[in-house]
A = this chain, B = another copy of it.
Amino acid sequence: MAAKTDDSGPVLPAAIESAWGLRERPPKGPRPGMSVPAIVDAAVRVADADGLAAVSMSRVAKELGAATMALYRYVGSKDELLMLMVDTGYGPSPGPPAPEDDWRAGLTRWAWAEHKVLRQRSWLLHVPISGPPITPQQLGWMEDGLRCLDGTVLGEGEKMSVLLLITGYVRNEATLTSQIAEGSRAAGVEPSEMMPAYGRLVARLIDPARFPALHRVLRAGVLYQDDDPDDEFVFGLDRILDGVEALIQRRAG
């Protein structure tokens, strides 16, 4: 009769709960020789140095001077470790918008912050994300993004959708440029030669009669140039923000 019904809903993995500061150490048993943050930091170090593919349980254990199976006392599975890696990989959120920023300036800053993180840690893009964000820092990013839209006429659901739209774009843009970088490393080509090589390849493959529009793009030299990736980024971001602005003005007017 004392026990409350368990309304916890979906059960959180143990390591995530401890990331939120819940769950205290039981007083019995030998003292732990490692800690979850230490393991996650080691895994992040491996990923930073050699990419996500190099992150195996044994490699992370070696990094810590421990045995492979020791890690499983701290994380329930490799997937759990990956989730925690994403959390610390993103790092702390960029903070609330500056007082002088309107929503557009704020979101621009917010998008650039994520852009910068993903450029530095492109392995974040390779982590198979397996659900909506539940780690502290991920929700921190969301919070800061929402604050940028605080004064606007948009509904709460619309704010959320706008944020989703922008993170999605940032992730996508980062994925594309990192693919080019990784592809050039794999093929042993200069990164600046990657797009031109791609352009030549497509030109060799397609039949202008069956791919007229694509052929025109090639003739214009679009794929041959090694554009500044930041220009690409700004273009798309401005398009999206223009779209949001149109919505806001329609709602207001």
Chain A contact residues, CB within 8 Å of chain B: 7-10, 12, 20, 126, 128-132, 134, 139-140, 142-143, 146-147, 150, 155-162, 164-165, 168-169, 171-173, 175-176, 179-180, 182-183, 187, 189, 197-198, 200-202, 204-206, 210-214, 216-217, 220, 222-223, 227, 232, 235-236, 238-247
Q: Of B130, B139, B236, which contacts A214 at CB under 8 A?
A: B139
Number of copies: 2
Tell me whether A222 and B157 are in contact (CB under 8 A). Answer: yes
User: By CB atoms of chain B within 10 A, which of A10, A128, A143 has the most?
Assistant: A10
Residues of chain B with a CB closer than 8 A to A172's CB: 164, 168-169, 171-172
Q: How far is the CA of A54 from the CA of B235 in the complex (A)?
A: 39
User: By CB atoms of chain B within 10 A, which of A20, A140, A142, A217 has the most?
Assistant: A217
Tell me whether B213 and A134 are in contact (CB under 8 A). Answer: no
Please judge, given known A-B contacts A213-B147, A213-B150, A214-B146, whether A202 and B134 are in contact too, CB under 8 Å.
yes
Please judge, given known A-B contacts A165-B169, A182-B130, A205-B139, whether A213 and B244 are in contact too, CB under 8 Å.
no
Tell me whether A142 and B214 are in contact (CB under 8 A). Answer: yes
Q: Of B134, B161, B173, B246, which contacts A201 at CB under 8 A?
A: B134
